Structure 1
Amino acid sequence: MLGQTAQLRYDFPFLVRTDSLSFRNVSLADAILFTLTVTLAWFISSSVCQYFRLRHFDGPLLAKISNLWLFSSVNSGRSYLDFWQVTQKYGTIARVGLNDLVTDDPAFVKHMCNVKTEYRRSSWYDGMRFNPTSNNCLSTRDEIAHSALRSKMAAGYVGRDVDNIEPKIDSNIRDFMRLLGSYADKKTPVDLGRKVQYFTLDVISDLAYGAPFGFVETDTDVYEYIQTTEKNLPMVMVVTVFPWLLTLLNSPVLKGLLPSTKDRLGFGRIMSIAKDVAAERFKLDVNDARDMLASFIRHGLTPTEAESEILLQIAAGSDTTASAIRSTMLQMCSNHDILHKLRREIASADIAGDIISDNEARKLPYLQAVIKEGLRIFPPIAGLMSKEVPPHGDTWNGVFIPGGTRVGYSIWAITRREDIWGADALEFRPERWLNNSPEKVKEMESTLDLIFSYGRWLCLGRTIALIELNKILVEVCS
């Protein structure tokens, strides 16, 4: 024993007193050096273990040994292109991080997301907490809690409990067209992309709160919401790669950097409005009300859940629909023949009112082909939406995937697969939806629906988004 102590004193004199076996105070420099050494050793050993777990999947070299490739891609804003290129180069299931895979196989996506799947939402979804202190239907990872939450909101989203979804959308379309008309009267240029975002924000706030924010009416970025979200969105996506950042940001030291209901502008101001609206609604009798929030409350949504769901509707619902409208309009402006075909169909349609109804729009085959092709050529969802492999692992097409691995899918890559869409998959061609066999069209529709996820995680807002697209494209293109 004494020999061992002497050796310890010789090798590590800063740890042991010369006259006893007790530890003495370690200097700050020594403590920092020791901590860094342990951290580095843990990082290296952890990375090596992770590398070997997924060594049978190919991908960019940096993605095999660290998460830096994934971080760089997500932070760059071009991850949807990077994931597509990765699947083209490295195969239908490729590696993009230490514990992350990406796939462009629609059958595998359906396997992961079907109603009886053993896969679960991964830590990727932690980054979808638009209120950092509480979950919403998108960020909830506990399956029991998620199913309960969906059941409370399903009737409101599909319209069973709501009488005025179409009238509210129609009213906002009229305001939007008046705004565009004012620019035409003055013969001044208009940023259509920005105005479309004003429109979708007013629609979703009208449906969620009972009144539009006023983006279109004032023709301004109300509360600087768009400016703030565009500035902070890269950070949100980075959190999906490093979910532990959310815990760090919620710490007392850094919590001040997060949006707060005390903010006068930006997302914090929207959080404040959501809180006030939810609180006011819970003071009233909602038994006779026929809007979405009233439906949620009647089916058991709590005040905190209501606040979070309102934020989700605004943050996720408005931006994705705006992206779909903008990208489709861009394609129409670039393809005059397609635009003329659509205009001829609209002109010959029997439209009863001043705004086309959803039922009337669904009967216009070329319009539906344009909408589907617009969603296909530029899917409004770019994130991986990663699911976690069950603990015992899974085997797909003869390849084993270890338990706990995060597997995401590149919808951009899926909507460009030539075996599904044809050799002209990179072209905007609505006719592909009209000139193929019924079986082929069914396959394409089933694949395109993955934009809205699938199975137990199917997007609740899908119906409302399609109603908006059906109506606004007719008005803008006619």
Structure 2
Amino acid sequence: MKRPSTKNLPIEARLLPFRCPCRSFKDVKVGEEAMLELPGMQSAVLLGVVVASFWLVYKLSEAAVDPLRSVPGPTLARLSRVWYLSQVRRGNFEKKNIELHEQYGPIVRISPDHYSLADPAAIKQVYRINSNFEKSAWYEAWKHPAPEQWTTFADRNVKRHADTRRRLQGLYAMSSVSQYEKFVDQTTEVLLSRMDDLAGNAQTINMTFWLQYYAFDVIGNITFSTPFGFLEKGEDIDNILVALENNLLYSTLVGIFPEWHPRLFQWLQKLPGSGAGARVKLLRFVADTISIKWAEKAQVGDSHDFLDRLMEINAKEPEKVTEYHIFAMVIGNVFAGSDTTAVSLSAVVYNLIRNPNVMQKLRQQIVDIEPTGKITWKQSQSMPYLLAVIKEALRVHPATGLPLWRVTPRGGAQILDRFFPAGSVVGINTWTMHYNQDVFGPDAQTFRPERWLTADAETLKEMNASYMPFGLGTRTCLGRHISTLEMCKLVPRLVVAYDFALAKPKKEWNTSNFWFVRPTDFHVYVTKRKSER
């Protein structure tokens, strides 16, 4: 089989030469004397004031004629996207977004042309299957600036995205999940072995790290039949997870000013500590891994792992699944498959620890079926309380924490009681919907799995319609079933095998929201329970 070439991958763009025009300022004076001595300083300051004044007048004039000027929101949000940038930069916008809607209502302006929505009625119109609302330019910062490069997550081309999903969604379908179960089982045993070594010690365990190591190794095993080795080594190999974090920070913030992305990326991609440099590192990591694994596979034969199946389709129908399709889909697995599942697993375990009655009830259901906790995927789908626990954990702590931005189509759109002109950017934050008391009741802030089991038919229908931890419509996460598989397999094993105690039981955990709402201090004491494994 021909080995795919990686020489044209979008990771070797030339870095423009940069020379700092700075000189030594060690002898420069400060204060009024310095102002007088530095030639042109006063003129520069005056020019800056004039430019700022003109900009402010222009923005105020623009706001005055805005057809949506009556939409409420923070005053500074009317003038520039800088206000939104400053809020996102704080790392807790999921909470801020909820507060904004509590203060201003179901439609809130958060920048001159961006509007956050928080009403179930808006979901069907903006995110329905046949919706013609395209993804906004914010997603541009999640891909290489070259126009011919795309991934399923960042692709704004509706037709191409639909075509890609049509070709490859079978690899992620519920019917395919059972074929990946053995890879999850293998990785689970490695994690439990490491947990056994750590359990009972006086020191706490950082569950965020270990669950991310697990999720990353699972996706490596599913994709290549080989885990990346994070669990085995117990560390961040080659700082790949740090690179993922830097990439999230870069894409989240630069996406607010997407016009900056091509220029910033061009300059920053050669700097290892930058978000753009992290993107290059991750792309090279994926490209090299594909090349190595492809070369190791002597034949396509029967499909086993994800890459095997892609290769099989490529061999039979190279026009249907090209080498670039293989690269793009594997990138999607690695980039999204680790972080989203790690956050979701953390949410499940954390909420179980904080709610011991739920933990005990779930544990009893598990041991009644299988004392060791080794539940099969098929068995898990017939365990209503397990599924309710997972569903409720992803409701109170969905992985993504920013609005899912979409652009109103040609001709505009009537959303709720407003007409939004074409080109307006609207979006719903999963957190605002999941904490909507009109849908989930006055106890929406409470972790209560029973709500999914005791609600009447109409209430359950409304809750399901507003439940969106994996997105909605044609943009629903392709890997959601794989993520659910991991949770359904690992959670029963952890619940049966260990007792957990939070290091800070009286304090809620801290999180950092740069697209993914990741816990930053999920430290626990772990004790091994008496069970057969």
TM-score range, shorter chain: 0.7 to 0.9
Match of 1:198 among 200, 208, 213: 213
Q: Which has the higher helix share?
A: 1
1:455 and 2:473 aligned: yes
Q: Secondary structure at the match of 1:452?
A: coil
**Distance in 2, Cα, partners of 1:44 & 1:213:** 55
The worse-fitting range, judged by mean Cα deviation, of 100-109 and 415-424 is: 100-109
Q: Deviations over 1:405-443 (max 9, x none)?
A: 111111111011111111111111111112211332232
Q: Over the residues paired in the alignment, what is the CA RMSD in angstroms?
A: 3.0
Q: How does 1:232-271 map to 2 (within 5 A)?
A: 232-251=247-266, 253-257=267-271, 268-271=280-283
**TM-score of the superposed pair, with normalisation by structure 1:** 0.85
2:331 counterpart residue number? 311
The alpha carbon displacement at 1:82 in A equals 1.1
**Distance in 2, Cα, partners of 1:162 & 1:398:** 42
Match of 2:448 among 429, 452, 455: 429
Match of 2:116 among 102, 105, 111: 102
**Mind listing any 5+ residue stretches in structure 1 that lack a counterpart?**
1-26
Match of 1:211 among 216, 221, 226: 226
On the 8 A contact 1:110/1:454 being kept in 2, the answer is no
The alpha carbon displacement at 1:44 in A equals 5.3
Q: How does 1:18-57 map to 2 (within 5 A)?
A: 41=54, 45=58, 48-49=61-62, 52-57=66-71
2:100 counterpart residue number? 86
1:439 and 2:458 aligned: yes
Q: Deviations over 1:316-351 (max 9, x none)?
A: 221111111112211111111111111111111157
Match of 1:230 among 231, 239, 245: 245
1:75 and 2:89 aligned: yes
Q: Go from structure 1 to structure 2 and tell me whether the alpha carbon gap of 1:295 and 1:30 turns closer, same or farther (over 3 Å shift).
A: farther
Q: How many residues align?
A: 446
Q: Secondary structure at the match of 1:96?
A: strand
2:528 counterpart residue number? none
1:373 counterpart residue number? 392
Q: Go from structure 1 to structure 2 and tell me whether the alpha carbon gap of 1:231 and 1:280 turns closer, same or farther (over 3 Å shift).
A: closer
On the 8 A contact 2:59/2:79 being kept in 1, the answer is no
1:416 and 2:435 aligned: yes
The alpha carbon displacement at 1:281 in A equals 5.8
On the 8 A contact 1:392/1:403 being kept in 2, the answer is yes
Q: Secondary structure at the match of 2:339?
A: helix
1:138 counterpart residue number? 153
1:279 and 2:291 aligned: yes
On the 8 A contact 1:71/1:238 being kept in 2, the answer is yes
2:416 counterpart residue number? 397
**Mind listing any 5+ residue stretches in structure 2 that lack a counterpart?**
1-39, 315-319, 497-533
1:348 counterpart residue number? 368
1:166 counterpart residue number? 181
**TM-score of the superposed pair, with normalisation by structure 2:** 0.77
Q: Deviations over 1:50-95 (max 9, x none)?
A: 5624312111111122112210111111111111111111111111
Residue identity (%) = 27
**Distance in 1, Cα, partners of 2:196 & 2:471:** 37
1:118 and 2:138 aligned: no
On the 8 A contact 1:249/1:257 being kept in 2, the answer is no
The alpha carbon displacement at 1:203 in A equals 0.7
**Distance in 1, Cα, partners of 2:118 & 2:282:** 36
Q: Go from structure 1 to structure 2 and tell me whether the alpha carbon gap of 1:436 and 1:154 turns closer, same or farther (over 3 Å shift).
A: same
- Code of the residue aligned with 1:392 in structure 2: it is G
The alpha carbon displacement at 1:458 in A equals 1.4
User: Of the two, which has the highest radius of gyration?
Assistant: 1
